[in-house]
């Protein structure tokens, strides 16, 4: 990494706050008898490498804590800087947020009425996953959240010196807890542990962020000069909802059984009802409005009387309390109607739409008597909670691999006495012939008590759980049936066939209908290229059309919607960063067109990970770069692993990230709808760049000896042995790059500071274009800043390059035992790195560091500690591999190694 003299503005606060926290940590270590470790923090800018006699595990843990301190002061500084800029310059100053988005739409010529009419169509759904990229235990994450709040609290100038000392003491107590607690998972977490972490955000973080999101939209609306009355009603606001994969995602995850899915749905539901119960109880305490001072509306009194009669004894009990306070009685009746898992369910709500209607009635009753402010402050947040979380908290998706489904179908055919043992090998025409014939018949293959193979039993048991839940509670809490590695139309129709064995598919007058959406997941570059034809064939199937119409009626939607998931990870692993992102761009545009041809709106589900190589990048630039007409106001997006804590652990940061997403979707949707869809002249150039970039990337990974280089020059063996998630690192256990999941693939390259997956191939592609078509290259340079898709790709490449350090990477390469292979492959990598840097600097007319000063400073601040940790990790890798080779005990070495993995991940703020 170059050490150019680049100083980003606004880092003085970071350095000042970091100095305070490091001093607190030093004092804590000294007071707890660990002065030798305190010496490692003697200089925050250039810490000592440490006494070789100190335990590596403790040194790594110390630096991991220091990195987290730096992370949180940067997070706080960013939040405070945004607030300061908004206070001084207005909400339109910040890129990507509501203020800027509304101003840009005004400049486009849209009126307030046009924008307001579109906002209720805006729906954003983050989907929380447990992909194994969160390296920290939940108890450590809790301590980090508490520490952040103390840092924020310390800034308040109202505190006396004594109170400031109390805050400092509380910070030191937390630091001691972190120092004395183990940071890593000694054993792999189970699914229930991962679910508890996800529920923490769904139950404790997002509900308190909702009111802030609504307030910021309304404030930006008025600042833009728009009529506040247009957004006065909650129904005029954008919608936020959440999805969940924990307990439903079983792709290569044998621990996610039907029982786990059933328990997950129950736990999500229990927490959703508990959340509403808490908020309603608070409203009941506060709405002590008396009939002696105001007359309740007649419609409200009618509702109270009718609902009390519906509930019988429970209704009478609600009316006996608060006799002259009918608003309290109304809330008590709503409380009495909350669904319960057991006991008397007579009169209880079955769907969230019912409680939403009753909360809207409560709000209207207050507005009618002139208590609009009370309605807005006391009732509207709970109404929005009900709209967002319902009785399910988050919609649980079920994902399974197409290959697993093939095995399940083969077992069903065999159980039915048919010859289908080689179903996975059948040509597509033969598969479709069988599926079309069977899907015209309502009869299942087997009986409920039939003995089936493991795969068929697993799929059908899961579907039965979903069908039972839908029968008892409706489908609000159920997401989609997602088919990973979708390769053909038959991969999707197979799901209908399997679901036909359960009540999830039922017979109607017009034929079979599937209650839940079946969603393709296109992951590899080849599958992305085939995806338009696959979607066309799927939408033309009668069962799909019937199912989409049924699902529209169930949801109350106005249009037919087919969800399509696109994966960023495997396409990157296949062809590198430029080819992956451009193929995703092309595929979205083509898929959206296929949907329009069939009268169906395609709802894209973006499977983004936490790193550039797996789809991460600035949210507002991501939404700006989406293809024209690929957004219908509606977007789903995964939030994976460590990004959940980084983006949502703290209230202001969570609100900022959700606002970026919602404002970005609204802005892009309206821009697409009010501007022509014109092909950009650089699109053919991007096709060429994607092809040549992919060629360079594939040449590297197919190079003789590359797999050995990867396995020895990165800590992949440590990553595979880590306990950071319940999911195995490989789909089938084969020792190949194709079988390796994208997460450990990317994780390993980032740990060893190659960051190869985020930049390799870009330089060769740009250089080739410049040599063969200078005019096209100059055109690319002219549009590098103003064409959003190109800017997004090149910015992501530069981010990965700044994160890389080939000096450190060379030390990892030194672990390779074959000198000739190491020299050949590492020379190839360093050559492409230099080529990519030169091309980027030519395109953007300046050093990469100068163009990205904030990112450069962020990485440079961590570099001294990181260098020490990389050195320790390389030493431990040698010891660990030697012990494994000699068949000697290696668990103690592995634990130390995993602590360095965790610490480096904290410093880089990324895993996989």
Please list the residues that pair with 636 across neighbouring strands.
Answer: 125, 605
Query: Based on the number of CB atoms within 10 Å of its own CB, is 425 exposed (0-12), middle (13-18) or buried (19 or more)?
Result: exposed
- How many Cβ atoms are within 10 Å of 343's Cβ, its own excluded? 7
Structure tokens at 743: 């997460």
380: Cα within 13 Å, side-chain hemisphere? 23
566 touches 626 (CB < 8 A): no
Question: Minimal CA–CA distance to 189: which of 140, 146, 148?
Answer: 140
CB 523 within 8 A of CB 571: yes
Q: In 3D, which of 544, 553, 561, 558 has the Cα closest to residue 499?
A: 544
Structure tokens at 556: 């109350």
Separation CA 98–CA 70 (nearest Å): 29
Q: Using CA atoms, how far apart are residues 780 and 776, in angstroms rounded to an integer?
A: 6
How would DSSP label each residue in 704-755?
A: TTHHHHHHHHS-HHHHHH--S-SS-SBSS--SSTTTB-HHHHHHHHHHTT--
Polymer length in residues for the chain: 912
Q: Is 28 helix (H, G, I), strand (E, B) or coil?
A: helix
- Neighbouring C-beta atoms of residue 533, cutoff 10 Å: 13
**Backbone angles phi and psi of 511, in degrees to 5:** 130, -170
Tokens representing 182?
A: 């183990």
Structure token pair of residue 857: 């400073």
3-state secondary structure of 418: coil
3-state DSSP of 185-207: CCCCCCHHHHHHHHHHHHHHHHH
**Rounded CA gap, 911 and 669, in Å?**
32
- Pick the closest to residue 38 from 19, 24, 52 (CA basis): 24
Residues near 357 by beta carbon (within 8 Å), at least 6 away in sequence = none
How far apart CA 338 and CA 276 sit, in angstroms, is 9
Annotation says 131 is catalytic: yes
Question: How far is the C-alpha of 790 from the C-alpha of 786, rounded, in Å?
Answer: 8
Q: Measure CA 119 to chain center.
A: 23
Query: Cβ-count burial of 10 within 10 angstroms (0-12 exposed, 13-18 middle, 19+ buried)?
Result: middle
Neighbours of 196 (CB within 10 A): 14
Q: Tokens at residue 339, please?
A: 């669904």
Tell me which of 573, 583, 647, 870 is the catalytic residue: 573
Q: Is 573 a catalytic residue?
A: yes
**Triad 791, 85, 238: Cα angle to 5°:** 65
Give the whole-angstrom CA distance, residue 613 versus residue 133: 14
Catalytic (active-site) positions: 131, 573
């Amino acid at each position: 990494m170059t050490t150019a003299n680049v100083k980003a503005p606004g880092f003085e606060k970071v350095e000042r706050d970091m100095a305070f926290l490091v001093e607190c940590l030093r004092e804590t270590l000294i007071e707890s008898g660990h002065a030798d470790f305190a010496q490692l923090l003697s200089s925050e800018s250039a810490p000592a490498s440490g006494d070789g006699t100190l335990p590596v595990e403790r040194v790594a843990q110390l630096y991991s804590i220091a990195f987290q301190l730096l992370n949180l002061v940067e997070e706080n500084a960013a939040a405070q800087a945004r607030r300061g800029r908004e206070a001084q310059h207005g909400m339109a100053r910040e890129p990507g947020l509501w203020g800027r988005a509304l101003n840009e739409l005004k400049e486009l010529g849209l009126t307030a009425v046009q924008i307001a009419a579109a906002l209720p169509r805006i729906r954003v759904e983050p989907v929380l996953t447990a992909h194994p990229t969160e390296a920290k235990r939940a108890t450590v994450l809790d301590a980090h959240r508490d520490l952040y709040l103390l840092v924020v609290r310390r800034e308040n100038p109202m505190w006396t010196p004594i109170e400031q000392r109390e805050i400092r003491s509380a910070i030191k107590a937390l630091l001691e807890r972190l120092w004395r607690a183990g940071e890593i998972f000694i054993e792999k977490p189970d699914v229930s542990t991962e679910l508890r972490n996800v529920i923490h955000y769904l139950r404790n973080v997002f509900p308190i962020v909702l009111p802030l999101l609504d307030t910021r939209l309304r404030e930006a609306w008025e600042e833009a000069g728009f009529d506040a009355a247009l957004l006065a009603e909650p129904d005029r606001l954008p919608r936020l909802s959440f999805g969940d994969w924990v307990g439903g995602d079983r792709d290569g995850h044998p621990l996610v059984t039907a029982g786990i899915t059933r328990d997950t749905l129950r736990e999500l539901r229990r927490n959703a009802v508990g959340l509403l119960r808490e908020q309603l109880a608070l409203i009941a305490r506060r709405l002590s409005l008396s009939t002696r001072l105001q007359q309740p509306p007649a419609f409200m009194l009618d509702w109270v009387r009718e609902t009390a009669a519906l509930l019988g004894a429970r209704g009478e009990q609600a009316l006996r309390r608060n006799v002259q306070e009918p608003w309290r009685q109304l809330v008590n009746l709503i409380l009495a109607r909350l669904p319960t898992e057991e006991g008397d369910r007579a009169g209880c709500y079955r769907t969230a739409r019912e409680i939403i209607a009753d909360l809207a009635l409560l709000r209207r009753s207050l507005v009618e008597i002139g208590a609009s402010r009370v309605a807005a402050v006391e009732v509207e947040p709970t109404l929005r909670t009900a709209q967002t979380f319902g009785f399910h908290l988050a919609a649980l998706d079920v994902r399974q691999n197409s290959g697993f489904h093939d095995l399940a179908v083969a077992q069903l055919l065999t159980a039915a006495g048919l010859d289908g043992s080689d179903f996975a090998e059948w040509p597509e025409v033969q598969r479709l012939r069988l599926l079309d014939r069977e899907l015209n018949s309502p009869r299942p293959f087997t009986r409920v008590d039939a003995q089936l193979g493991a795969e068929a039993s697993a799929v059908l048991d899961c579907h039965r759980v979903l069908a039972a839940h839908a029968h008892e509670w409706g489908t609000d809490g159920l997401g989609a049936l997602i088919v990973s590695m979708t390769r053909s139309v038959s991969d999707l129709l197979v799901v209908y066939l399997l679901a036909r064995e359960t009540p999830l598919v039922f017979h109607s007058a017009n034929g079979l209908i599937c209650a839940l959406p079946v969603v393709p997941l296109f992951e590899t570059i080849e599958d992305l290229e085939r995806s338009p034809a696959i979607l066309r064939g799927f939408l033309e199937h009668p069962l799909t059309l019937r199912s989409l119409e049924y699902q529209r009626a169930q949801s109350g939607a106005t249009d037919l919607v087919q969800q399509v998931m696109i994966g960023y990870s495997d396409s990157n692993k296949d062809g590198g960063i430029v080819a992956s992102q451009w193929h995703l761009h092309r595929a979205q545009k083509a898929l959206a067109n296929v949907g329009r041809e069939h009268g169906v709106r395609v709802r894209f589900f973006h499977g983004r990970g936490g790193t550039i190589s797996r789809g991460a990048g600035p949210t507002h630039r991501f939404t700006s770069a989406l293809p024209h007409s690929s957004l219908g106001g509606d977007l789903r997006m995964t939030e994976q692993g460590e990004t959940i804590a980084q983006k949502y652990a703290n209230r202001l940061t969570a609100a900022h990230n959700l606002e970026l997403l919602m404002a970005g979707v609204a802005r892009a949707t309206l821009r697409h709808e009010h501007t022509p869809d014109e092909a950009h002249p650089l699109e053919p150039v991007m096709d060429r760049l994607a092809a040549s970039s992919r060629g360079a990337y594939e040449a590297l990974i197919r190079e003789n000896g590359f797999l050995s280089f990867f396995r020895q020059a990165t800590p992949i063996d440590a990553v595979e042995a880590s306990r950071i998630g319940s999911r195995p690192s490989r789909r089938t256990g084969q020792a190949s790059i194709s079988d390796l999941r994208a997460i450990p693939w990317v994780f390993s390259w980032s740990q060893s500071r190659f960051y190869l997956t985020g930049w390799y191939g870009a330089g060769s592609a740009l250089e080739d274009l410049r040599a063969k078509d200078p005019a096209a290259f100059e055109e690319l340079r002219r549009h590098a800043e103003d064409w959003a898709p190109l800017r997004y790709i090149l910015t992501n490449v530069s981010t990965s390059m700044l994160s890389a350090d080939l000096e450190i990477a060379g030390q990892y390469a030194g672990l390779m035992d074959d000198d000739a292979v190491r020299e050949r492959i590492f020379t190839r990598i360093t050559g492409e790195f230099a080529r990519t840097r030169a091309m980027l600097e030519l395109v953007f007319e300046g050093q990469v560091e100068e163009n990205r000063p904030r990112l450069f400073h962020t990485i440079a601040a961590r570099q001294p500690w990181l260098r020490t940790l990389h050195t320790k990790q390389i030493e431990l890798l040698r010891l660990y591999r030697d012990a494994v080779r000699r068949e000697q005990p290696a668990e103690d070495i592995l634990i130390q190694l995993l602590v360095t993995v965790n610490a480096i991940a904290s410093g880089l703020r990324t895993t996989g």
